Amino acid sequence: MRKTIAYSIANITQFKKAALQWSQQFDEVTWLDSNNHTSKYSSFDALLAVDGLTAFVTDAKNAFHDFKEYQNTTKDWLFGYVSYDLKNDVEHLSSSNLDNLHFPELYFYQPKKIIKIVGGTAEFIYLNMVDDEIEKDFTAISSLVLEEDKNEVSQDIKIKMRIFKDEYFRKVNKMLAYIQRGDIYEANFCQEFYAENTEIKPLKVFNKLNAISEAPFATFLKVQDKYVLSASPERYLKKTGNTLLSQPIKGTAKRSKNAAEDKELKDHLSQDEKERAENIMIVDLVRNDLSKSATKGSVKVEELCKVYSFEQVHQMVSTVTAEISSEKNVVEVLKETFPMGSMTGAPKVSAMEIIEELESFKRGLYSGAVGYITPEQDFDFNVIIRSILFNATEKYVSYAVGGAITAKAIPEKEYEECLIKAKAMRQVLESR
């Protein structure tokens, strides 16, 4: 059982920064920030969960089955992540590429303390065992002196590419050969950028990344010595009552500081036949995934190929909804739709096999999802893209970017799109 006390907050921006800084004392931290991207699909402005009472950690083998048991047992708020390599639990697949991050493949915990920020109010939702600490914690956050973000975020950092441009072209051309042969229609091909023997200051890195990106699904996740610092613009899947909502992204264009040129870039993206074709293919895949859980005839496309503007890029987003039975288990819904279509391809299993063959790193949490499940069986998960992953013990920093390869793909343009997507992460890590 939990106790909830709500406080009116005069300066929400200040309070959010203070709450995240205060959270750093705990081994488990999940911070989800909408960055004021409010819509009819929003549930909060920010959500913070810290200090696990119980936790469930596993590799891919029987992951969803065992996680379902844990979720049914706790019947409480759960925060955590599912990594891309849980594909091996969903299908007869494997992951053998290089992994220097060593994140568990699934990690969820039951937090003792949750702070939910909506409008000008902060709700402290604490387990009864710690509810006597609510007032003390509210006072501590409210009176916290914020650390300066001007200091360096890392030591001298040397970012390396896992594959170089020529090899990228060779691999994309091989993927195009699979497409021309009819094995797949589309696949998301990704590459890793990394730094070894490197220490960063995770909170400072996140604050800088969040400041320049202001993404609607920003995430700071800390699990002991492992961190996810995410400026994700994409929602994987949300459940509210009996309604499912997925918002896949396919289609990217750079921004311009010149207003007229920026509008031209946005308009060009909205009319780009290749980008629209990529998006529509993934929408069809998402519709098929949702139909596994949905009641018959309930899957609908609410928005198709709508262009949204973010700080760094324009993105083409579609919105797909479905209705499910109230008896349907939430973990089963996740399993039936995972991994998300925007990060795999079509047909899905063939695309994942080819991705595993051609990519040079194990995706792990990249292109997985971070989110939460409520006691009422609602949930919301993002897609981990535009994200920096850090293993503090291994001193290893990684970020990956990718894009959809279709029959019309031009390797040089796909490579340029990758660099556009990588710009914010590189800028933050190299900033002094």
Contacts of 302 (CB under 8 A, 6+ apart): 319, 320, 321
Neighbours of 209 (CB within 10 A): 27
Per residue in 219-276, pLDDT tens?
999 999 999 999 999 999 999 999 999 999 999 999 999 999 999 999 999 999 989 9
Per residue in 99-119, pLDDT tens?
999 999 999 999 999 999 999
Q: For the residues of 89-103, what is the DSSP string, one character each?
A: HHSS----S--SS--
DSSP 8-state class, residue 130: G
pLDDT at residue 390, rounded to an integer: 98
Domain residue spans of the chain: 2-145+155-430
Per residue in 65-91, pLDDT tens?
999 999 999 999 999 999 999 999 999
Give the mean pLDDT of the chain. Answer: 95
CATH of 2-145+155-430, one of 3.50.30.10, 3.10.310.30, 3.60.120.10, 3.30.43.10: 3.60.120.10
The amino acid that residue 131 corresponds to is D
**How many secondary structure helices (H) and strands (E) does the chain include?**
11, 20
Global pTM value:
0.95
Per residue in 179-197, pLDDT tens?
999 999 999 999 999 999 9
Active site residues: 234, 250
- CA–CA dist 399, 206 (Å, integer): 13
Please determine, for residue 138, whether its predicted confidence score (pLDDT) is greater than 90. Answer: yes
The amino acid that residue 293 corresponds to is S
Provide the percentage of residues in the chain whose pLDDT is more than 70. Answer: 98
Look up residue 382 and give its two tokens.
């993002």
pLDDT at residue 152, rounded to an integer: 66
Lowest mean pLDDT among 94-103, 124-133, 187-196, 310-319: 310-319
